[in-house]
Structure 1
Amino acid sequence: MKVAVVILNWNGKQLLEQFLPSVVQFSKEATVYVADNASTDDSVAFVSANFPTVSIVVNSTNTGYAGGYNEALQHIEADIYALVNSDIEVTENWLQPIINTFQNEPTTAIIQPKILDFKNKDYFEYAGAAGGFIDQYGYPFCRGRIFDTLEKDNGQYDSNQEIFWASGACFFIRSAVYKELNGFDTSFFAHQEEIDLCWRAINKGYSIQYLFESKVYHVGGATLQQGNPKKTELNFRNSLLMLTKNLPEKDLYKVLFIRMVLDGIAGIQFLLKGKFNHFLAILKAHAAFYSRYSENFKKRSDFQRSEYYITKSIVYSYFVKKIRFFNDLIMFK
């Protein structure tokens, strides 16, 4: 089974200098690629000079996470794509459990390892933790992370489990499935495109797995920091785009309406906290969603799975019920 570890880079020389050595050292079963997203720094020259075993693919323009991978992967032949952020530190034997699962479970299309916080290694990391889920209204959360609350890794999620979405920070997918789904939706640019791709895979009948035996550490926020208004805009916009594409028809307009009301409440909260730029970001997100609605609606597939969430409202559970841990949330299905 041919595995390609593909690191998307944009002006990330310092990150490559810090994290590429661990990827090269512990990925003997794979071919390592750096896919450069039209960087203006000297990161390509740095990789070429210092990592002769790493192959380089140079994209013509910076089209974000979604477009960047779509363009680069056209030039990479492999059975499995491992899409790895440039701020990921991998560990010894991180690939073997994943390769074994792909070999033994033909319906498993996508896999995520355990993702821990590089800066605080006893804790799960925001972008993926121990595997992702969404609630009825499209809000993502993880085993080990609900909104901004990160759990300490005490082995409570040391069990392999089917999940709803795998983090784009460290995302394994069969190349045949990636091509069948036409890759990421480039209109997302960045943020939640991996959830959309996972949802489309599930609607096609594929399985997504979390494997705790494989472990990586993620810095997080290396491209857009958590408090950046652009990140807020992309998350709110892309969540609405994703819901429109993937919700079952009977729930589509009801869920979209409730989600928009919840977005409005979030906007008011930003105003009350004096975060006017984030309030504007939500307005921009909704304006972009309305302008793209017709085009986006046409992307709906012939089938949408009706069972897509494990809890009705993570917003209610977290902010009203004060639930902070995933294992407590299960009771409120």
Structure 2
Amino acid sequence: MNETAAPIIDVVIPVYNAAELTKRCIDSVIAYLGSSIRTVHIQDDASDVETHAMLDNLSYPQLHIYHAPENQGYGKSVNEAVARSNADWVLVLNSDIEVLDNFLPLLCGVLAADSKLAVISPMEGDSQETQTGRYVRQPGGYISTYRFRGYAFLIRRAVFQTMGGFDAQFGRGYYEDTDLGRRLDQQGWRMGVHPDAAIRHETGASFGRGKAYRELVQRNRARYLSRYPLARQNVLAVSGNAILADLPSRIADSMEQVMRQGGRLHWLTPVPLPQLSCLQMRNGKASFKTIVKLMLRGWSREDKSITVVWILPGVPAGLRIVLALFVQVYRLEMREWQAD
């Protein structure tokens, strides 16, 4: 890539059925991003007759449509389409995405400014998962993440290719994106989400939420966690009144390490924290009710179970007793941190 020239950007859209949503996605890409991109590579993963015909009837000159002879799944479809591109950067979109405006200037700006940022994603416009105003903004306005989600992302094509793309062992889909994120982090790359760049996402449009979905998720989650056992960490950290800047470096660094390894951190404080470091850091009220709620999460999904309790400085004696009781009942590890 010529550093003085604007990067060439191609779009990759893997498609499997859902003709109406797929057309909406393609139409929105052309309408809002058409002036910022070169080619849209449509990888039809052996869709049904309706979707096949819809794609062939599209007349946008930027479209390159490839009909795969057999269904390969999300990862292989994206890998093949990216391999057909020689762009500097590639924007990969699920076919159930709707583009709402031209977010590429925002994404390109941060990718150009940070040479170690491998991938940047827009935020799901209807997502209630996070209050983005509480997260530390990195230069360019993005929020750090250690968990890569592949619904929509702009990535350096050379990095994607060097990493081998998505691992084909994940088959038709789920967790191949999380796996790629772990590998990127291990190679020293950063990942981000830009909250000012929004898209609409109809989750699960191709596979739905039935038996096939559940089996895919269960199988690939087990595969992912077997590769990265430290990603099973779910740390419940309880403290007195403190903010990120108040924490001793050894505590802050340990928190960051948990999240960097793919784990989750639930930090409970008497009052809400004004700032959180990345999207894997969650904050709630330090109360008996909140602790019970977090402890019970593991009943439905083992990977969401609290695995260790950290007692940070400033926790009242009564709450320490409650935490110690839960640690004993659930046979958890407990770590007490002392103030410097």
Q: Whole-Å Cα distance in 1 between the matches of residues 121 and 89 of structure 2?
A: 13
Partner of 2:247: none
Q: Contact 1:6/1:84 (CA < 8 Å) preserved in 2?
A: yes
Deviation of the 1:110 alpha carbon? 1.1
1:19-72 Cα distance to aligned partner (Å, 9 max, x none):
321111111211222111122324344334333222212323211111111222
Deviation of the 1:105 alpha carbon? 0.9
Partner of 1:165: 147
Q: Structure 2: give runs of 5+ residues left out of the alignment.
A: 1-6, 235-256, 268-281, 283-289, 298-309, 313-340
Is 1:22 the counterpart of 2:58 in the alignment? no
TM-score computed with the length of structure 2 as normaliser: 0.63
Q: Secondary structure at the match of 1:320?
A: helix
Q: Whole-Å Cα distance in 2 between the matches of residues 316 and 195 of structure 1?
A: 27
Partner of 1:238: 220
Greater Rg over alpha carbons, structure: 2
TM-score computed with the length of structure 1 as normaliser: 0.64
Which of 9, 18, 23 lines up with 1:12 in the alignment? 18
Which of 163, 185, 191 lines up with 2:167 in the alignment? 185
Which of 246, 261, 265 lines up with 1:311 in the alignment? 265
Which of 212, 217, 223 lines up with 2:206 in the alignment? 223
Q: Contact 2:136/2:143 (CA < 8 Å) preserved in 1?
A: no
Amino acid at match of 1:82: L
Partner of 1:88: 97
Q: Whole-Å Cα distance in 2 between the matches of residues 16 and 217 of structure 1?
A: 13
Partner of 2:55: 47
Partner of 1:320: 295
Is 1:104 the counterpart of 2:58 in the alignment? no
Q: Whole-Å Cα distance in 1 between the matches of residues 60 and 195 of structure 2?
A: 31
**Higher RCO (C-alpha 8 Å, min separation 6):** 1
Q: Whole-Å Cα distance in 2 between the matches of residues 332 and 96 of structure 1?
A: 43
Q: How many residues align?
A: 241
Q: How does 1:81-160 map to 2 (within 5 A)?
A: 81-117=90-126, 124=127, 144-145=128-129, 159=137, 160=142
Q: Whole-Å Cα distance in 1 between the matches of residues 178 and 50 of structure 2?
A: 32
Which of 210, 219, 235 lines up with 2:193 in the alignment? 210
Amino acid at match of 1:311: L
Amino acid at match of 2:92: L
Amino acid at match of 2:125: L
Q: Secondary structure at the match of 2:91?
A: strand
Q: Contact 1:70/1:184 (CA < 8 Å) preserved in 2?
A: yes
Q: Secondary structure at the match of 2:123?
A: strand
Between 209-218 and 166-175, the greater mean CA deviation after superposition: 166-175
| Distance verdict in 2 for CA 1:171–1:321, change over 3 Å | same
Deviation of the 1:171 alpha carbon? 2.1
Partner of 2:76: 67
Q: Structure 1: give runs of 5+ residues left out of the alignment.
A: 118-123, 125-143, 146-150, 259-304, 323-330
Q: Whole-Å Cα distance in 2 between the matches of residues 23 and 317 of structure 1?
A: 45
| Distance verdict in 2 for CA 1:237–1:66, change over 3 Å | same
Q: Secondary structure at the match of 1:24?
A: helix
Identity %: 24
Which of 9, 12, 23 lines up with 1:3 in the alignment? 9
| Distance verdict in 2 for CA 1:107–1:332, change over 3 Å | farther
Partner of 2:184: 201
Q: Contact 1:311/1:332 (CA < 8 Å) preserved in 2?
A: no
| Distance verdict in 2 for CA 1:14–1:246, change over 3 Å | same
Q: Contact 1:59/1:71 (CA < 8 Å) preserved in 2?
A: no
Deviation of the 1:156 alpha carbon? 5.1
1:211-231 Cα distance to aligned partner (Å, 9 max, x none):
1121101111201223x1222
Q: Contact 2:13/2:78 (CA < 8 Å) preserved in 1?
A: no
| Distance verdict in 2 for CA 1:332–1:83, change over 3 Å | farther
Structural RMSD (CA):
3.1
Q: Contact 1:164/1:198 (CA < 8 Å) preserved in 2?
A: yes
Deviation of the 1:157 alpha carbon? 5.7
Amino acid at match of 1:21: D
| Distance verdict in 2 for CA 1:214–1:63, change over 3 Å | same
Amino acid at match of 1:110: V
| Distance verdict in 2 for CA 1:41–1:157, change over 3 Å | farther
Deviation of the 1:172 alpha carbon? 2.1
Deviation of the 1:93 alpha carbon? 2.0
Q: Whole-Å Cα distance in 1 between the matches of residues 224 and 143 of structure 2?
A: 24
